[in-house]
Structure 1
């Protein structure tokens, strides 16, 4: 069991390895979204490191992802991985998630330029989805997202709305054999973005995925209800190193992602629901204008 791990023994090992000093203090972090147990390690009253305790499989995935993108400044740097993969230690990024984040176009621009445009193609498999439990097709990933969200908040939708989303699912799932697979963060939402002085300074808690770059981009765009408009979307998309697609297709991708985001919102961020439902009406009307 993760709860039975002796943190003091881990700290002693880290001290012997020269990672931390004798005066380090471990404080459990209860605010993160990760499934494992996370401790902040502080020296002289300043948080400096993160100790993540998790199942070996999850530690391996985290190590693989952060190792692949170790050259990117937005990600924490790995300092030590337990040989048995029981825990991992990486640098702490000072700031807060969710709040004091500045305008969406500012942090989305940083994400595009410093993260998404540096994603690496993933050629080790012909599968899609979560790196730890891949599936056969991207269509299957989208279908699971559609069904799960329908179960979460389908009662708020009209039959017409659901039919619209189902049709969009069919459109965005076509020609997946032409999609390029990338190693994605997989959970690029404001809850995993670290902000300091209204500036994006870090991205934490990867859930590594194999998928199209557009997934993480639209996920980030829809991860907060502010500035969910076409102008912000296109300003950021025009910076993305992505092959050209029709604006109508990009709008469909956003509508599908927004639909899934509202399902998450109901479960985890109900206070944002009213703003998301307004955005939902906006994007529906926008799609109608583009196809009429």
Structure 2
């Protein structure tokens, strides 16, 4: 597609009755297939203009508008009638780095986003809205299989079989997963914006349907620092819509962490050694639970 000029962007803003003059455009790199531009106005406001598949834009717009009262999410300013592009506020800060303690930013994530989640009642499917699955178990099984392919020989076949067994035990009955919620779906440190070692923004949703605990544990496992029971239990205490036994939390961490180690092999190999240490730690905790050893 033709990259829009400043003149074209300003005409777009005027057509949508936004009274702000854009003076600078910067193309952003990233994993998205679409075109992402950072805009800066004469008044020093900053925006993101994103061109993408209309179905994906519609899903992201739906999530951002559903949780527009969250201070962590960008605000949608305008959307094309055909959903070919939309504009939302830019959150200034850093991603990945200078995060501070995990228990602190997890608490902010819980209080300012996860506790605002609402039930999703549009259909009976689970997982990614654009790639729906019939059951929560099916969604997790696919994630585990993808992880196994990425892992190769990094973790053993015994580890794979153990995670499969846990997933069968935990996710066999959809009624035991609790209510379905509209989730951000990609709550990792790569999508968190920090300022002065504090979480101030959550970007790039990949909307999905599932239990709130999924987004919480995805965030918990998304970096290898502070992956311990103290951090997990301290942050989980702030979840207002989730009731879950600590033993189940540990079991679900093992499943989520296995998948995260697989992602580390593919995308963040520098974190792999720390993730393998974390995996051994959590696997041992889980096996102690299996043996009835009181560890909590």
Q: Report the TM-score when normalising by structure 1.
A: 0.94
Q: Is the 8 A contact 1:252 1:287 kept in 2?
A: yes
The equivalent residue for 1:177 is 175
Unaligned stretches of 5+ residues in structure 2: 292-296
- C-alpha displacement of 1:250: 1.0
1:75 and 2:73 aligned: yes
The equivalent residue for 1:159 is 157
The equivalent residue for 2:202 is 203
- The 1:23/1:49 distance shift into structure 2, 3 A limit, reads closer
Indicate the larger mover: 180-189 or 32-41: 32-41
The equivalent residue for 1:65 is 63
1:186 and 2:185 aligned: yes
Superposition pairs of residues 103-182 of structure 1, within 5 angstroms = 103-178=101-176, 179-182=178-181
1:237 and 2:233 aligned: no
- 1:13-63 CA distances to partner (integer Å, 9 max, x unpaired)? 114434364442110011x34332211001259561111110111111111
- Equivalent position SS for 1:148: helix
- C-alpha displacement of 1:243: 4.1
Superposition pairs of residues 256-271 of structure 1, within 5 angstroms = 256-271=255-270
For residues 140 and 11 of structure 1, the distance between their equivalents in structure 2, rounded to whole angstroms, comes to 46
- The 1:242/1:172 distance shift into structure 2, 3 A limit, reads farther
The equivalent residue for 2:13 is 14
For residues 64 and 257 of structure 1, the distance between their equivalents in structure 2, rounded to whole angstroms, comes to 26
- 1:138-169 CA distances to partner (integer Å, 9 max, x unpaired)? 11101101111111104212222122111111
Indicate the larger mover: 171-180 or 88-97: 171-180
Unaligned stretches of 5+ residues in structure 1: none
Superposition pairs of residues 221-236 of structure 1, within 5 angstroms = 221-236=220-235
For residues 66 and 47 of structure 1, the distance between their equivalents in structure 2, rounded to whole angstroms, comes to 19
Superposition pairs of residues 245-264 of structure 1, within 5 angstroms = 245-264=244-263
The equivalent residue for 2:99 is 101
Q: How many residues align?
A: 289
Indicate the larger mover: 154-163 or 92-101: 154-163
Indicate the larger mover: 245-254 or 212-221: 245-254
